Chain A
Amino acid sequence: MGNIAFLPIGLEVGLLVGALGILMAAVMRGCRTRDWAIIAGTAIGFGFVVSVRQWVVVGDIGPQLAYGTKGIDGSAVANQMVAMDKFGALGGMILMIVVGLVLIGSWQMITDLGTRGAEYVALILLSVAGMHMMIVSANLVMLFIGLETASLALYVIAGFLRDRRGSDESAMKYFLMGSFASALFIYGVALVFAATGSTSLYGPTSIGMFLGGNVMPDPGILLIGIALILVGLAFKMSAAPFHQWAPDVYQGASTGAVAFMSTGVKVAAVAAMVRVMYLGFFQFYDDWSMAVALIAALSILVGTATAIAQSDIKRMLAYSGVAHAGFLLVAVLAARVSLDSMWFYLATYAVSLVGMLTIVGVVAGVNSGPVSIDSFRGLGKKSPMLSVAIAVFMFSMAGIPGTSGFIAKLVVFTAADLNGFRWLVVLALLASVAGLFFYLRIIVVAFFDDTDAEETPSTPTGPRIAIGFAVAVTVLLGLWPTLLLDFAREALPHL
């Protein structure tokens, strides 16, 4: 075990060091954003390398658990805290790519912030470390810590632009609701602990072992616990009815921050949910899967319906994110049959969304709060490449073939159908049609409306790269999905 002592948390450590490094650099060398970029880039790159290394090592020696305590008798190692498996490794890669894209796409904002930019970058690195911790944690308390690490940093990030009204509102709402959700989550953990005597997902004293070995005559407390854990995670992915914070927060926060919080947290929460639900509570699959299906259905319906009425693009994307949370919950259900479909959905949605929000940042400014859809008016003429990118992302989110979004829906829905959720698949497909109303609307505004605005927004290099990469991934995976699918098929959690 010695040789992997550092590897399971290498990514987190790297990011923390990077965050501290940036803060130090800001203190010692002043406002030199180049330094921060190098450090952050190194940290993220390191994180990515660690994830790859994990993948390789796991491929060689199989999934591992780490950081346990010795039993009282000193013999067995129990209560492992962190799992090192391809599941976490892939999660790490996706998170690194997403956060990298976000930073590249919104670096302008960091430059604008001056010295405080260092804090911003550091917070993002800290937050993403927390997110990854959520994915790899082998213990519910550990999961809680990861969740809080991610969230606390996000609360600050949401309200980072102090000089803009709405920013503080955004932070406050996020904070209050987030804390509420965290409290519900940890109370759920406590109840599960009360019912099973464990908070661990692995090992001889894990929740699963207990549930497998004992017949619960009265599972009430456990079920309440499961419900609360679900609520906590569903909140993070902004699934209905725990979604209402999202539009307000997204609207108030800076566009770059939204790109990060809307994608990273979703990745982390979905992955964590899969691990917790399947490993922890598989014996209660019949119960919680229906609960998840109901939340999914509600999210899809509410998200789609509300998004139609939006005139602010970030709010629209927030509600579309609610609908996508629903689709992701379908993916959670589908994960029982095919985990790769869930990964595919997560990765492609995250990339498209980051790309789209980067465009919003380019068009309306990275610091922008509310961004009316009308600001895209006539973009098709002024900036055709940008508009094509918009079209690609919108079609991808809508699930139109030719884009990764279609394949994502296809594999997820096929797996969900295989898993017996045909009604949910039909509902989801019909809702995606209604979703066209708002995805198409953006394309319509961009392409079909003329404008008399004169200046063409020039796309700086950073966003250009981020958008280009996102478009490339979206189209490439849309045409050649096996690239990711075959890879992700191995990304199973430690059992």
Chain B
Amino acid sequence: MSELVVTAGWYMALAALLFSIGAIGLLTRRNALVMFMSIELMLNSVNLTFVAVGKELRTLEGQIATLFVIVVAAAEVTVGLAIIVAVFRRRETASVDELSEMRG
């Protein structure tokens, strides 16, 4: 069954796919929460890459980086949700398309 070994390359490809999905989600959805989730998805694909590559290269760096990214993502969640809530309170909507007063 050795030919079925899943190499790091596959993981990276998957991560790239996830990242792209996240990016496309960010660009196409108008609900701030969903967009925010897309960003989380992108960050997680980064984690996947780090872990996979770290495993492949047998260093701890990848795993440690992942930990950092998770922490940062958590912090981002806090701030992001707070901003979304603030917007929702004021405007009763989470659609970013409404937020276009400033332009030009």
Q: Are chains A and B touching in the complex at the 8 Å CB cutoff? A: yes
Check if A193 sits within 8 Å of B50, measured CB to CB. yes
CA distance A189 to B26 in the complex (A): 20
With contacts A144-B68, A148-B76, A194-B12 known, is A168 near B46, CB below 8 A?
no
Residue of A nearest to B103 (CB): A248
In the complex, per-residue mask of B28-72: 1 if CB is within 8 Å of any chain A CB, else 0: 000010011001001101100110011001010110110011001
Interface size (A, Cβ < 8 Å)?
Answer: 44
Q: Which residues of B contact A156 (CB under 8 A)?
A: 79, 82-83
The yes or no answer to B1 lying at the interface (CB within 8 A) is no
Known: A179-B76, A180-B39. A145 touches B68 (CB 8 A): yes
Provide the main secondary structure of the chain B interface: helix
Residues of B within 8 A of A46 (CB): none
Least distance between B28 CB and chain A CB atoms (Å): 13
Interface string of A197-217 (1 = CB under 8 A from B): 111100000000000000000
Contact B83 A166 (CB under 8 A): no
Counting CB contacts under 8 A, is A162 at the interface?
Answer: yes
A251 to B36, CA, bound (A): 23
Residue A152 at the B interface, CB < 8 A?
yes
Question: Shortest distance in angstroms between A27's beta carbon and chain B's nearest beta carbon?
Answer: 20
> Is the beta-carbon distance between B72 and A144 smaller than 8 angstroms?
yes
The answer to whether B83 touches A168 (Cβ under 8 A) is yes
Task: Establish whether residues B65 and A199, one from each chain, have CB atoms under 8 Å apart when the complex forms.
Answer: yes
Number of A-B contacts (CB under 8 A): 124
- Would you call B14 an interface residue if the criterion is a C-beta within 8 Å of the partner chain's C-beta atoms? no
Q: How large is the interface on B (under 10, 10 to 19, 20 to 34, 35 or more residues)?
A: 35 or more
* Contacting pair B102 A79 (CB below 8 A): no
The distance from the CB of B35 to the nearest CB of chain A, in whole angstroms, is 6
Where chain A touches its partner, the secondary structure class is helix
B3 in contact (CB, < 8 A): no
Q: Which residue from chain A places its CB closest to the CB of B85 in the assembled complex?
A: A168
Cα distance A159–B87 when bound, in Å? 10
Evaluate contact between B79 and A165: CB separation under 8 angstroms.
Answer: no
Q: Is B83's CB under 8 angstroms from A171's CB?
A: yes
Closest to A176 in B: B35
**Who on chain A is nearest to B65 by CB?**
A141
Contact B39 A179 (CB under 8 A): yes
Measured between beta carbons, the chain B residues less than 8 angstroms from A380 are: none
Instruction: Point out which of A79, A183, A184, A200 has the most chain B C-beta atoms below 10 A from its C-beta.
Output: A183
B contacts, CB < 8 Å to A: 8, 12, 15, 19, 22-23, 26, 32, 35-36, 39, 42-43, 45-46, 49-50, 53-54, 57, 59, 61-62, 64-65, 68-69, 72, 75-76, 79-80, 82-84, 86-87, 90-91, 96, 99-104
